[in-house]
Amino acid sequence: MKPEQDAFGQGERVIEIVERDDGYIGATGGPAGYFSPAEEWSSNKTAVFPLIHGRVLDVGCGPGRVALYCQEQGLEAVAIDLSPLAIKTARLRGVKDTRVLSITQASRKVLGVFNTIVMFGPWFEYLMVSPEEMAEIVAGTGWHVEQIVWREDGVDYTAVLQK
């Protein structure tokens, strides 16, 4: 692909449009957010930093920004994503343990045991799961929703699950 054909390679601001099966349509800040350092993340992401501890599973890791942050904090992070190219990018950026894997394939047998599971980005929104429904889903599993932090505009939230 020639540079002039690549929308992400033009040096201009790009907006990513998300459309779900339920009719929801929204816009994100584009791909730059997936590569931004922690100090540029929204307050609903940074507010959960103190809760992340132990061995961490980064679900839907994309290019690995959360796993990289965890590694910088001295934590062991395992990053999973359905996209082989996302995993390749995460690995190239320095994420030590990456796997092409769906959350539905994740298990103790496959990945081991975790202290914290993070899903940054609008993944719960894509799953169409409210914070209350997430609490119901994990009830009885030994996991609980430790904290829900809403973004200022009330559109996106970050959930931290812990044992």
- Amino acid identity at 63: P
Please compute the mean of the pLDDT values over residues 61-83 and round it to a whole number.
Answer: 94
Q: Which residues pair with 19 in a beta bridge?
A: 25
**Could you tell me what percent of the chain has a pLDDT over 90?**
23
Categorize the per-residue pLDDT at 90 as very low, low, confident or very high, splitting at 50, 70 and 90.
very high
Determine whether 93 is exposed, middle or buried from the number of CB atoms within 10 Å of its CB (0-12, 13-18, 19+): middle
In the chain, the largest separation of any two C-alpha atoms, in whole Å, equals: 53
The 10s digit of each residue's pLDDT in 2-50 is: 656 555 455 566 777 766 666 667 777 777 778 888 898 877 788 888 8
CATH architecture of the domain 41-162 equals 3-Layer(aba) Sandwich (3.40)
Q: Where are the domains of the chain?
A: 41-162
Cβ burial 146-160 (10 Å sphere, 16+ → b, else e): eebbeeeeeebbbbb
Q: To the nearest whole number, what is the mean pLDDT of the chain?
A: 78
What six digits make up the tokens of 24?
Answer: 């929801």
